[in-house]
A and B are shown apart, each in its own frame.
Chain A
């Protein structure tokens, strides 16, 4: 009986993995291509093709300015992916540094920083990002930084608790006894042992970043035209929801597939731990 459930579990994990890989590939490969090539120029307007339905030339049809939706979805998901990556990199690097120092040294700085961290952590990240966007202004770089700052606390928290857990382990002590400098102990010896915990939170964080970016761009304070992101495309499409609901579906489904695919992959990474 127990053996049966075990194999069942294994199967369902693999199922998740396959679906995750397939969904992520469907979204990521076209958006990687979109970095270099799109079927049409995503910004070229063509008034004769306004609101054209799907055809062989334009697989997803055209939008209110006669721009090719497929090209825009490709370009938009590239922007969304890059902002997600940038955000996670920013938040993860600074969060790791903050978490490593506070976890390793402790003391009064740890107290103060963690207090601030708790305050920030209790706020929804999209709200934090809204504040930072209000301060920094909108645009793709500002949004990346704003979201990145908003994501620092969660990584700092994870890394700090890992560092507190492993700082008294034997290998750390012996590295110190061997005369390694604090920085070397922290980032050469201890950091690789946090990678696994970080990896699954990076995937979750990436999803949150994608959703937050889409939310900000949807609100009109994220990515600004002529750049397109999935969120800003959705916000444009919302105006034409009554006459052409299809415009909202293409970027929306892309967004869902991206998030779902990565969530399933994240589950796999998490399950391996």
Chain B
């Protein structure tokens, strides 16, 4: 398994590079956080004292070193605007965003696989054609507008859920999952349209290959050939897409959280960007970077497991 080890090392390196770049970017931009906090009327002594307490009096490499060592221990420093440790500020928001992402990921897989298999099975039927057109349209709906449409249709029209009526999973897990279904659907829909497209094309392509024709002509049941041979091979190009989709979904959940009023990482990231509260922004970006890199790594490993040809 040396290649897997190499991948893991490169993933760790990637995370390090990202955190380094993020820290550097927020260190070199003009503007003094101490001035921003105290206002331009503050006395120089007060400013100096605040800078010292924020650790801003040290040089950038020194600050980076303290910061990265802290991050390794799960300490992201102190928020500028909330005067509390970043870790306790975002700790209970991470599972929320993570759950939303995983929820929509599962929804995407279920939706795209079921529909693509159905459409490829009934190739050129009316439903297949309708699905193709619908697919193109859904791909063009920006996720947040999809969220608005879902709120309008399911929330205000069918009254299946109360818009803005978010329930914490500590209070009632069932209702939490019920509410989260709709934001998850908003994230999953455009992605499942793309996954549908990929899986459908690849299923149809595989069906034309020699091994499939041989399997059919040897008198195997069509259903067996479809599920045992075609689907397995058709999944391979889709897996690469899944890695990118998962990363996109993390970002997508940040946007969708705003539509459905979910107090996850997205809301605090946005307020921190607007307040120029850089420790919080840095922390959230590093966390998201870890999520993205880990999901890519998992997909890479999954790829090897599924497709023996890539194992050298």
Interface of A toward B, CB cutoff 8 Å? 116, 119, 122-124, 126-127, 130-131, 133-135, 207, 211, 214-215, 218-221, 234, 237-238, 241-242, 245, 248, 252, 255-256, 259-260, 263-264
Which residue of A116, A134, A207, A218 is within 8 Å of B144 (Cβ)? Answer: A218
Determine the distance from Cα of A148 to Cα of B285 in the docked complex, in whole angstroms: 19
Determine the distance from Cα of A245 to Cα of B95 in the docked complex, in whole angstroms: 32
Report the minimal beta-carbon distance from B64 to chain A, rounded to whole angstroms: 16
Mostly, the A contact residues are helix
Which residue of B163, B254, B278, B296 is within 8 Å of A241 (Cβ)? Answer: B163
Quick check: B248 and A122 within 8 Å, CB to CB? Answer: no
Q: Which residues 242-258 of B have a CB within 8 angstroms of A? A: 244, 247-248, 250-252, 254-255, 258
Quick check: A252 and B14 within 8 Å, CB to CB? Answer: no
Report the minimal beta-carbon distance from B138 to chain A, rounded to whole angstroms: 10
Determine the distance from Cα of A247 to Cα of B300 in the docked complex, in whole angstroms: 44
Report the minimal beta-carbon distance from B14 to chain A, rounded to whole angstroms: 5
Determine the distance from Cα of A259 to Cα of B141 in the docked complex, in whole angstroms: 8
Chain B residues, Cβ within 8 Å of A130: 251, 254, 269, 273
Q: Is B17 part of the binding interface, using a Cβ–Cβ cutoff of 8 Å?
A: yes
Chain B residues, Cβ within 8 Å of A221: 270, 273-274
Quick check: B140 and A127 within 8 Å, CB to CB? Answer: no
Report the minimal beta-carbon distance from B21 to chain A, rounded to whole angstroms: 8
Q: Which 6 A-B pairs have the closest CB atoms?
A: A124-B251, A260-B140, A259-B140, A127-B251, A252-B145, A134-B273
Report the minimal beta-carbon distance from A119 to chain B, rounded to whole angstroms: 5
Report if A220-B274 is in contact (Cβ < 8 Å); known contacts: A131-B22, A134-B281, A238-B259: yes
Quick check: A248 and B270 within 8 Å, CB to CB? Answer: no
Mostly, the B contact residues are helix
Determine the distance from Cα of A252 to Cα of B199 in the docked complex, in whole angstroms: 29
Q: Using an 8 Å CB-CB cutoff, how does the interface string of B123-163 with A read, 1 for contact, 0 for none?
A: 00000000000001101111111001101100010000001
Report if A256-B250 is in contact (Cβ < 8 Å); known contacts: A130-B269, A218-B255: no
Quick check: B285 and A131 within 8 Å, CB to CB? Answer: yes
Determine the distance from Cα of A130 to Cα of B14 in the docked complex, in whole angstroms: 19
Report the minimal beta-carbon distance from B251 to chain A, rounded to whole angstroms: 4
Report if A122-B270 is in contact (Cβ < 8 Å); known contacts: A238-B259, A248-B148: no
Determine the distance from Cα of A124 to Cα of B291 in the docked complex, in whole angstroms: 12
**Sampled A-B contacts (23; CB under 8 Å):** A116-B17, A119-B18, A123-B247, A124-B250, A126-B251, A127-B254, A127-B285, A130-B251, A131-B22, A134-B273, A134-B278, A234-B144, A241-B152, A248-B148, A248-B152, A252-B145, A252-B149, A255-B142, A255-B145, A256-B142, A256-B145, A260-B136, A260-B140
Q: Is B29 part of the binding interface, using a Cβ–Cβ cutoff of 8 Å?
A: yes
Chain A residues, Cβ within 8 Å of B292: 122-124
Report if A218-B258 is in contact (Cβ < 8 Å); known contacts: A127-B288, A238-B148, A256-B137: yes
Q: Is B9 part of the binding interface, using a Cβ–Cβ cutoff of 8 Å?
A: no
20 additional contacts, CB 8 Å, given A214-B144, A241-B151, A263-B139?
A119-B14, A123-B289, A124-B252, A127-B285, A130-B254, A131-B25, A134-B281, A207-B140, A211-B142, A215-B142, A218-B255, A219-B270, A237-B148, A241-B156, A242-B156, A245-B152, A252-B149, A256-B145, A260-B137, A260-B140
Q: Which residues 7-41 of B have a CB within 8 angstroms of A? A: 14, 17-18, 22, 25-26, 29
Determine the distance from Cα of A9 to Cα of B259 in the docked complex, in whole angstroms: 40
Q: Nearest chain-A residue to B281 (Cβ)?
A: A134
Q: Is B293 part of the binding interface, using a Cβ–Cβ cutoff of 8 Å?
A: yes
Chain B residues, Cβ within 8 Å of A124: 247-248, 250-252, 292
Report the minimal beta-carbon distance from B243 to chain A, rounded to whole angstroms: 8
Report if A133-B149 is in contact (Cβ < 8 Å); known contacts: A123-B292, A263-B136: no
Q: Nearest chain-A residue to B293 (Cβ)?
A: A122
